[in-house]
Amino acid sequence: MPRQNNHKIAIRTLLAGTIAALLASGALATSPATSQEQDRGTNGIVPRAAASSLTAEYAALRRAQIADVDYTIAVTLDGDADGFTGVVTADTTLARDLRQPLTIDFAGGEVKSVSTNGKPVKFDYNGHFISIAPRNLRKGENEIVIEYSHPYSSDGSGLHRFKDQEDGSAYLYTHFEPYKANRFFPHFDQPDLKARYTVEVTAPADWQVITSAREDKVEELKDGLKRWHFPQTKKFSSYIFPLHAGPYKVWESDANGIPLRLFARKTMAEYVKPEDWFKFTRESFDFYQKYFDIPYPFGKYDQVIVPDFTIGAMENVAAVTFNEAAYVSRGTKTQAQRQRLANVIAHEMAHMWFGDLVTMKWWNGLWLKESFATYMASLALAENSEFGDVWQNFYLGSKRWAYGADQLPTTHPIEVTVPNTDEAFSNFDGITYGKGGSVLNQLPYYLGKEAFRQGVSNYLKQYSYGNAELADFMGALGKAANKDLHQWTQNWLYKAGVNTISASFQCDKDRITALSIEQTAPEQYPVLRSQKVQLGIYRMQGNKMARVAKVPAIYSGARTEVKDAVGMPCPQILNPNDEDWAYVKTSLDGNSVAAINRHINDIESPFTRLMLWQSLYDSVTDAKLPLTDWIDFAISNAGRETDINVIRLIAGHLESARAYLFRLDISQTLRKEKLQAIEDFAWKQLNAAPAKSDAQKTWFQTWSDLAQSKTALKRAERLLDKKLNIKGLEIDKDRSWPLIALLNRNLFGDYEERINRQLENDSSDRAQLAAISARAGRPTLEAKNLWLNNILDKREDLKLSQIRAAAGSLFPAEQLDLYRKLSPRLFAAVPQVSNTGDTLYNKAYAMLFPVVCSKEDAKAYSSILAEHPELMPALGRVLKDRRQQSEWCEAMNTLQHQANN
């Protein structure tokens, strides 16, 4: 039964006003809790430091103190003000008498009054949390009322305010994960203290107001305001509580009885394609409700497209937010972009069950909800969408991201200890999403698809509206499959690193007589694992390299005999992880490598070509194949490729190869020759691609990044001026900016005037950020110092999105000489940046540090890490990775020198 009554809001608002008046008159005053109230000591007492994060230890104590809690929130919003005001009532059931103060999380606001059980009380507020002495609370039910105010955020977290430069409209949205909900309202901000929420919002009359429930009443007020009343929600964690407001454009639809709405700001509405959004949403609902065997639990489903967002999307209950820049294009979308949109819609919807309905107890379980949604999104698209290349895109994105992250020094087990909320954020990485999703993708092959599905369904049903841990999930899967998953869990989820497999075979009379899989592990992570792979056997059939046999096999340990392969055709190419079933690196035998070099374009399967092209480039970054040899191979062979996913992969590798050409210590003559060869190839492919095709759009983006010759820069000018046309390619607003950035990076022509002229025609915030990137990319000390000053000394005057735009463009690979001149200042500022305690700012600052290829440059990373071992994870982890990547680059350099000599 609901514990809240909507009529209480007005009474509590009146009470809070009375308390505020008493405070103003001096009748009450806030004061720090006394030493007796702190009750410090042993016997279950956990003192709380005045810090911006929440520790796992303290969260566990508070969970033991609080048996239940629900919230009533009343806020007043004004888009033209600097902040907002609110009153929150926390109906809190204490499990026991308190022996130390109860703390209520609330960062960076002002607390005007606190009352408990109808009486004003003294309280302590340190800018991070409110403390209430035990004498003011009792075992059982308590009503805590807090009147407060808080500034709007400009960094994409808390309650973020965005002012549209084009029409002056203000838009608000919330983003709370992992520990930012307390920047919106005072409460117990931890995932295992789930609550119901009753909400009332006073806002401008022309605004939409969106939260987890549909409004049941809207009152017309004086002065152009409305008051929105929302009924009590179901129980869920506060980090997924949403409140979005502003003059959003709204579209409505339906998914078999589930009301759907889509929101976007007015100036971007013309670029939104609601038919795609609703189509992908309906398809996802169709799949998940059947797969989980649980009806959608939250009634309605809103999706809100928001600017300045710091991540891709967020699974707020029944009001999901999406990154506008990532998912709204001002030109024609490619199929890859449409699939990305479908995938993120499916990903966030999977969270409605796995993450929102059932939630991890603490942030060590973050990976599970993200990995699960990553895997399920691809499964949903593969089973119920128009896209036929879903698993290829999973490999291109999640899998490659995971492999890269798992080989860095900052790799970690999938399941890790998370001591505090700062550490939780540092684990939003390729292990959390990509490796976890890849490992879950392996489980249906290992357990059986139906056993896996049944285990998931049972888990969700058992823990609905509650919290669970990894053991609960693995127990449900093991029970459904009748398998003991203890050792599997230990090897895959509690130990870091990626294994490598190779296959060796013998043949007689063109038939396999013996085949084995050898497995190795990196020295620092020596565990050998077991999983199921598919061996792909390829032979020339006419003019095609066709797969003539496939052999499923479960390998374990250092060597596994595959008896089922005996008698199969002798391979010309043997792919040990065909169709990407397993999470593992592969090392190809010499005969297969030789055949690939001769027949890469004859291989019939696009997925196999995709994986083999990646394997070849891995050989470059693993310092087994000289970079220039790969460039020659790519230019000789890539022109015949027709599959868009393989084209996208090769194009990305060419951009990476260009960057390495500037990093490696090679002669100017060789560098210039290879740069020109890459540029010419990309231009040729751009002009040869079918008009309006995805290949054409891909090669345009690649050429815009690769171009460096005067001929190419003149072409860029002519494309901007409509004096040069490529059939089917529209140089729209979004495609103009890469060309303008290219001219600025090379100080070519009237590059500054280009920016000003473009801003006159395109005054959007997207254009403003593109202009910052273009200016920061200029190869002058003046430009670098200007933006470095802004990032370090004027960050309070800039939005986080502006800092990120500058940092991401300040030191491209061809400008390493400028980086070296400024690196002393960059490194000197590291402690200052870390000491801000701002995770998002630290992540942005980390973008300044490039991969370098000299021992001297790499030493700077070692020195700063040795001098400051306690840097914020968001910065320290990146510096560790850059050091390792720089050492790998040195190995590439050595190999290249040997090849040149």
Q: Find the helix or strand (DSSP H, E) in which 630 lies.
A: helix 627-637
C-alpha closest to that of 61 among 51, 46, 50, 48: 46
C-beta of residue 751 within 8 angstroms of C-beta of residue 715? no
Q: How far apart are CA 857 and CA 852, in angstroms?
A: 6
The 3-state secondary structure of 741-809, one letter per residue = HHHHHCCCCCHHHHHHHHHHHCCCHHHHHHHHHHHHCCCCHHHHHHHHHHHHHCHHHCCHHHHHHHHCC
Q: Is residue 738 helix, strand or coil?
A: helix
Tokens of 679: 């540029």
C-beta of residue 263 within 8 angstroms of C-beta of residue 249? yes
Amino acid (one-letter) located at 663:
R
Q: Find the helix or strand (DSSP H, E) in which 733 lies.
A: helix 733-745
The 3-state secondary structure of 568-613, one letter per residue = CECCCEEECCHHHCCCCEEECCHHHHHHHHHHHHHECCHHHHHHHH
Tokens of 859: 């030493």
C-beta of residue 202 within 8 angstroms of C-beta of residue 225? yes
Amino acid (one-letter) located at 374:
T
The 3-state secondary structure of 322-350, one letter per residue = EEHHHHCCCCCCCHHHHHHHHHHHHHHHH
| First-to-last C-alpha distance (Å) of the chain | 80
Q: Is 655 a catalytic residue?
A: no
Q: 697: which residues sit within 8 A by CB, 6+ positions away?
A: 332, 334, 729
Phi, psi (degrees; rounded to nearest 5) at 259:
-65, 130
C-alpha closest to that of 155 among 802, 776, 773: 802
C-alpha closest to that of 346 among 389, 383, 381, 372: 381
For helices 668-688 and 627-637, angle between their N-to-C axes, nearest 10 degrees: 20
Tokens of 318: 């029944």
Name the β-bridge partners of 105. 129, 187
C-beta of residue 378 within 8 angstroms of C-beta of residue 343? yes
Q: Is residue 51 helix, strand or coil?
A: coil
C-beta of residue 657 within 8 angstroms of C-beta of residue 678? yes
Amino acid (one-letter) located at 468:
A
Q: How far apart are CA 550 and CA 535, in angstroms?
A: 5
Q: 548: which residues sit within 8 A by CB, 6+ positions away?
A: 537, 538, 539, 541, 569
Q: Say if strands 500-508 and 585-587 run parallel, antiparallel, or are unpaired.
A: parallel
Other beta carbons within 10 angstroms of residue 798's beta carbon come to: 17
Other beta carbons within 10 angstroms of residue 649's beta carbon come to: 23
Pick the catalytic residue: 177, 315, 348, 579?
A: 348
Other beta carbons within 10 angstroms of residue 221's beta carbon come to: 12
Q: How far apart are CA 606 and CA 636, in angstroms?
A: 18
DSSP annotation of 849:
P
Scanning 664-693, the segments in alpha helix (DSSP H) are 668-688
For helices 470-481 and 449-462, angle between their N-to-C axes, nearest 10 degrees: 130
Catalytic residues: 348
